[in-house]
């Protein structure tokens, strides 16, 4: 049976959001991007958005409690069908909390896709996108935060036999085909 509870992991700019959006729409999965959800809170001017805005602009991680509350409420209300988590978890605390939540819901992760790309290409893609948090200094800091806090999740999911790596260089369609090949 095709895998339908998925997690996308990788450095900022690897194309997680780009691939996750397309895959979720092809397969009818719930696409849960913590980055998009946080930006929506900022745009709506909520108290939560105000708390997140400055942290995101610095390229740091928003508090675990805040992100976990967002993810929990979305997953609890999604009783049937698959999902794709994009940009979450971002550190070990989030990964462990996610593990407990998914145990509780009886919906274990089936596959973690690690998107790999070198720093020069990451920088080029993010500078090309030009979002508020996409300037050279903030990007360098985000890469550092990724290496320190998020990269340990590679070993965490590899030890659990869930991780598959994909080369994230090339065209969007080529990368989509590499990911599709892992799902069968
Ligand atoms: P995110 O929104 O998750 O964004 P990202 O990691 O920077 O980008 P992504 O990898 O999704 O790249 P994309 O497809 O957009 O995080 C932003 C911030 O939110 C974080 O710094 C943090 O503050 C906060 N946050 C989010 N989740 C959190 C959590 N769980 N805990 C705490 N804080 C959290 O692609 C990038 C660019 O490349 C685009 O312009 C795209 O068009 C282009 N591109 C994609 N694929 C390409 C290809 N094949 N070739 C050429 N260009 C390509």
- Rounded to whole angstroms, the Cα distance separating 126 from 13 reads 6
CA 171 to ligand 1 centroid distance, Å: 16
Domains of the chain: which residue ranges? 5-32+82-183
Q: Is 129 in the pocket of ligand 1 (CB under 6 A)?
A: yes
Q: Please identify, in words, the CATH class of the domain defined by 5-32+82-183.
A: alpha beta
The pTM for the full model equals 0.94
Ligand 1 pocket mutation, candidates 7, 8, 12, 168, criterion most atoms within 8 A of CB: 12
Ligand 1 pocket mutation, candidates 10, 18, 135, criterion most atoms within 8 A of CB: 18
What's 148's DSSP letter? I
Q: What is the pLDDT of residues 10-49, one digit of tens each?
A: 999 999 999 999 999 999 999 999 999 999 999 999 998 9
pLDDT band of 81, cuts 50, 70, 90: confident
User: 48-52, 72-76, 159-163 — which one is most confidently predicted on average?
Assistant: 159-163
CB-based burial label for 50 (10 Å; 0-12, 13-18, 19+)? exposed
CB-based burial label for 90 (10 Å; 0-12, 13-18, 19+)? buried
């Amino acid at each position: 049976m095709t895998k339908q509870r998925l997690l996308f992991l990788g450095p900022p700019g690897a194309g997680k959001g780009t691939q996750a959006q397309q895959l979720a729409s092809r397969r009818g999965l719930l696409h849960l991007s913590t980055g998009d959800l946080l930006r929506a809170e900022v745009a709506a001017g909520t108290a939560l958005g105000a708390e997140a805005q400055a942290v995101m602009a610095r390229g740091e991680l928003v508090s675990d409690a805040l992100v976990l509350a967002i993810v929990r409420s979305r997953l609890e209300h999604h009783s049937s069908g698959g999902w794709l988590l994009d940009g979450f978890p971002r550190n070990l605390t989030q990964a462990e909390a996610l593990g407990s939540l998914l145990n509780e819901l009886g919906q274990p992760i089936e596959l973690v896709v690690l998107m790999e790309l070198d720093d020069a290409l990451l920088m080029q893609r993010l500078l090309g996108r030009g979002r508020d948090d996409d300037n050279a200094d903030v990007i360098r800091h985000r890469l550092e935060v990724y290496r320190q806090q998020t990269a340990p999740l590679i070993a965490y999911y590899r030890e659990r036999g869930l991780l598959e790596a994909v080369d994230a260089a090339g065209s969007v369609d080529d990368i989509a085909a590499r990911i599709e090949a892992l799902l069968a």
